[in-house]
Amino acid sequence: MDKQHYLKLIENELSQAPWFVKEYYQAKSTVPLSPATLYQYLTEFRRFFNWLISEGITSVPRQADIPLSLLEHLKKETVELYKSALLNQIKEAGSGGSRTHPTINRSLNALSSLFKYLTEDTEDENGEAYFDRNVMHKIALVRTNETFATRAANLKTKLMLGDTDHKYLAFINEKYEEKLTPTQKRYFLRDKIRDLAINALLLGSGLRVSEAANADVRQLNLKTGTIGVIRKGGQKDIVQIAPWTLPYIENYFSKRTELYHPTSGERALFLTVYRGKASRMQANTMEKMVAKYSAAFKVRITPHKLRHTLASKLYLATKNEQLVATQLGQNSTGATSLYTHMIDEEQRKGLKKL
């Protein structure tokens, strides 16, 4: 492919890119990196940004709207999940696929180049880099001998499998307040029922945190144990909720008005108090809430890990990847392949029979 053709492809990629990627391109085109390398890097950035959007990690609709602050505060575990998603593509495609361990490492190297530029080579109005924290320093390249079983085992240690999810909710309900100050305890007791309901909904449905935050009262049907949500791309979906989590949600729903005194026109299911008035609880507030409770309970996790917990437990119970994909609102089983490797207990039982 000649240089002019690459430049046309680059122009198309840049037309969809965030402003800081355009700036990155201008800087790197003078190094110079070859047009072929720059085009490859731009496609990797696009793939990563689209994944962040599809997974609900950001609420912006287009990659051009990705804010610089998202990269500044990006968690290591989020990039690790993306790494797992790339590995899953290998399994789904089989030997004929275009994704291999070396190509995944090229994806990670492209992101490392972008983060290095943003944290070391840029200058704001004060002559400082745009931000200091480079999350890619914490991300290891894929080893050629890193199997899906290994990836699954690493992820499994960070999930609430077995009865850990039940114990987590019981901890919030019964133990969390023990070490709080009087002021902290007052606010905790006000929001305790709501916070239990949100954690229960995420654990019992596998919703993205943005989907839970955007849910309206009228979309919850306690009789059928379902909730209506808007999935990525604006698609409407009706999601089943695990029966064991419904009492937590029912309790909040019955006391929502009493606790937050919303106006008659307030549609949001989950409310908070802002400047003395009830308003919709935002996704980032839910993320901080989950981090607070999970850190006190065992180990700090994210709402995305609660989603993984539901998916893993559902696969372990059904051995049905398509069912898991449907529950998560995914159009294919590609993103669910990792859960098929979380069956080491059955594997051990089989080995004992040999």
**And the tokens for 257?**
């008005």
Read off the pTM.
Answer: 0.62
Calculate the CA dihedral of residues 207, 212, 214, 218 and round it to 10 degrees: 100
Please state the rounded mean pLDDT for residues 180-186. 93
Q: β-strands 236-240, 220-221: how paired?
A: unpaired
Q: Which of 32, 64, 33 is nearest to 46 (CA)?
A: 64
pLDDT of residue 97: 47
pLDDT band at 141 (very low <50, low <70, confident <90, very high): confident
Task: State the SS3 of 72-92.
Answer: HCCCHHHHHHHHHHHHHHHHH
**And the tokens for 169?**
């909710």
Digit-coded pLDDT (tens) for 240-282: 999 999 999 999 999 999 999 999 999 999 999 988 899 999 8
Rounded to 5 degrees, φ, ψ at 342 are: -95, 45
Please state the rounded mean pLDDT for residues 96-101. 56
Which range is least confidently modeled, 74-88, 187-201, 238-252? 74-88
Q: Which of 25, 59, 60, 29 is nearest to 45 (CA)?
A: 25
pLDDT of residue 5: 80
**115 touches 136 (CB < 8 A):** yes
Contacts with 257 (C-beta within 8 Å, 6 or more apart), sequence order = none
Please state the rounded mean pLDDT for residues 30-45. 85
Percent of the chain's residues with pLDDT above 70:
84
Residue 144: pLDDT over 60: no
Please state the length of the chain.
354
Residue 119: pLDDT over 50: yes
Please state the rounded mean pLDDT for residues 105-130. 92
pLDDT band at 195 (very low <50, low <70, confident <90, very high): very high
Q: Which of 180, 218, 155, 199 is nearest to 288 (CA)?
A: 199
| Mean pLDDT, rounded, of the chain | 86
Which architecture does CATH list for 164-349?
Orthogonal Bundle (1.10)
pLDDT of residue 147: 60
pLDDT band at 354 (very low <50, low <70, confident <90, very high): very low
Handedness of CA 66, 72, 77, 83 (dihedral sign): positive
**119 touches 133 (CB < 8 A):** yes
More confident residue, 100 or 184: 184
Sheet with strand 220-221: strands edge to edge: 220-221, 226-230, 236-240
Extents of the domains making up the chain:
3-146, 164-349
Residue appearing with tokens 């912006």: 60
pLDDT of residue 325: 87
Which range is least confidently modeled, 187-201, 225-239, 325-339? 325-339
Own/partner pairs for 3-12, CB < 8 Å, 24+ apart? Answer: 3/35, 6/35, 6/36, 6/38, 6/39, 7/35, 9/39, 10/35, 10/38, 10/39, 10/42
Q: How many Cβ atoms are within 10 Å of 209's Cβ, its own excluded?
A: 25
Helix (H, G, I), strand (E, B) or coil at 169: helix
Residue 206: pLDDT over 80: yes
Calculate the CA dihedral of residues 57, 111, 233, 219 and round it to 10 degrees: -10
pLDDT band at 113 (very low <50, low <70, confident <90, very high): very high
Compute the distance between CA of residue 213 and CA of residue 164 in angstroms, rounded to an integer. Answer: 24
**And the tokens for 86?**
């790339």
* Cα–Cα distance list, 84 to 4, 6, 268, 291, 336 (Å): 35, 30, 33, 22, 10
Handedness of CA 172, 293, 191, 251 (dihedral sign): negative
- DSSP assignment of 288-335: HHHHHHHHHHSS---HHHHHHHHHHHHHHHH--HHHHHHHHT-SSSGG
pLDDT of residue 36: 80
**66 touches 49 (CB < 8 A):** yes
Helix (H, G, I), strand (E, B) or coil at 277: strand
Please report, as a single letter, which amino acid is at residue 192: K
Residue 95: pLDDT over 50: no
Compute the distance between CA of residue 255 and CA of residue 261 in angstroms, rounded to an integer. Answer: 10
